[in-house]
């Protein structure tokens, strides 16, 4: 059997996870969902991994759930599948995740991209939550992460109509981070990942933690999270090295400690 998920290490500190069902436009089966969650766990446990890149193929990042697995499913079947636990393992990753999106990111594919911390999209990429067109609704964060990314008015338009949003509009709405030429998507994602991987790893993770946790907290609670993480970083060797290097006018030598 062909591996549904390919794992690569294109540069030091970088782990690339590539969805590998190109004939099915990388539609998300349970096998692929489990493989992806397991691969994220492995990245979290690997001290050599600083940044994770999620990628698909030229035609599709992921074109949603594989409807062959869902067309005859009952409500009890869906409860027992417990896919939310698999998604939660991705959401809980403390290391930065960059989605490199070419082609279609529809339904579960759009939701997978929304689990990333940054989305680099090709100029021909399209994003959508088309579940309403097959009689259901987004079920992996497409109503919750989407509204946090683009606001209520645009989230309603996207989820209630299933409209496809082209990359330039997605950038304007705040859904994605950057738009580049299609053939530059993965090189740009890799360059960004390498830049982040070269920085103090504890500081990077604490920044992600503060932004993610603070986004759903009150301003006061968010500021408390930020303050605690800021103060904690003064216990790291990289804090002293970074500041001393700045004062010495030399490149910093970060160790992740």
CA distance 180 to 86: 30
139 is catalytic: no
Among residues 55, 62, 63, 65, which one is catalytic? 65
Task: Please name the residues in contact with 7: beta carbons below 8 A apart, sequence gap of 6 or more.
Answer: 15, 16, 17, 18, 39, 42
65 in catalytic set? yes
Decide: residue 23, CB within 10 A, 0-12 exposed, 13-18 middle, 19+ buried: exposed
Tally Cβ neighbours within 10 Å of residue 256: 18
Q: What is the DSSP string of 150-176?
A: H-HHHHHHHHHH---EEHHHHHHHTS-
**Residue of 39, 56, 111, 170 marked catalytic:** 111
Lookup: tokens for 71: 């067309």
Q: Is 108 a catalytic residue?
A: yes
Q: What is the DSSP string of 46-62?
A: -TT--EEEEE--SSEEE
Choose the catalytic residue: 131, 141, 186, 193: 131
Active-site residue, 142 included = no
Taken in order 70, 73, 77, 78, the sign of the CA dihedral is positive
| Beta pairing, strands 165-166 & 126-128 | antiparallel
Catalytic residue among 56, 64, 107, 108: 108
The two structure tokens encoding residue 167? 């990359």
Buried b (16+ CB within 10 A) or exposed e, 212-250: eebeeeeeeebeebbeebeeeeeebebbebbeeeeeeee
Cα 89 off chain centre by: 12
Active site amino acids = 65, 108, 111, 131
């Amino acid at each position: 059997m062909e591996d549904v998920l390919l794992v690569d290490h294109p540069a030091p500190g970088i782990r690339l996870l590539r969805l590998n069902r190109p004939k099915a436009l990388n539609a998300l089966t349970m096998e692929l969902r489990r493989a992806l969650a397991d691969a994220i766990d492995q990245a979290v446990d690997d001290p050599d991994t600083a940044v994770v890149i999620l990628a698909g193929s030229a035609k599709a990042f992921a074109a949603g759930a594989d409807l062959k697995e869902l067309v005859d499913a009952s409500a009890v079947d869906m409860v027992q599948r417990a896919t939310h636990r698999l998604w939660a393992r991705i959401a809980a990753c403390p290391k930065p995740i960059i989605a490199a999106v070419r082609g279609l990111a529809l339904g579960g594919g759009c939701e997978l991209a929304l689990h990333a911390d940054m989305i680099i999209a090709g100029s021909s990429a399209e994003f959508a939550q088309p579940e309403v067109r097959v009689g259901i609704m987004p079920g992996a964060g497409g109503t919750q992460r989407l509204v946090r990314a683009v606001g209520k008015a645009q989230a309603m338009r996207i989820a209630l109509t299933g409209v496809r949003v082209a990359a330039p509009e997605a950038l304007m709405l705040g859904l994605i981070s950057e738009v580049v030429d299609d053939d530059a998507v993965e090189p740009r994602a890799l360059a960004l990942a390498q830049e982040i991987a070269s920085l103090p790893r504890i500081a990077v993770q604490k920044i992600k933690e503060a932004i993610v946790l603070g986004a759903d907290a009150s301003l006061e609670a968010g500021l408390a999270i930020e303050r605690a993480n800021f103060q904690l970083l003064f216990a790291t060797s990289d804090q002293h090295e970074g500041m001393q290097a700045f004062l010495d006018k030399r490149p910093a030598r970060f160790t992740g400690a």
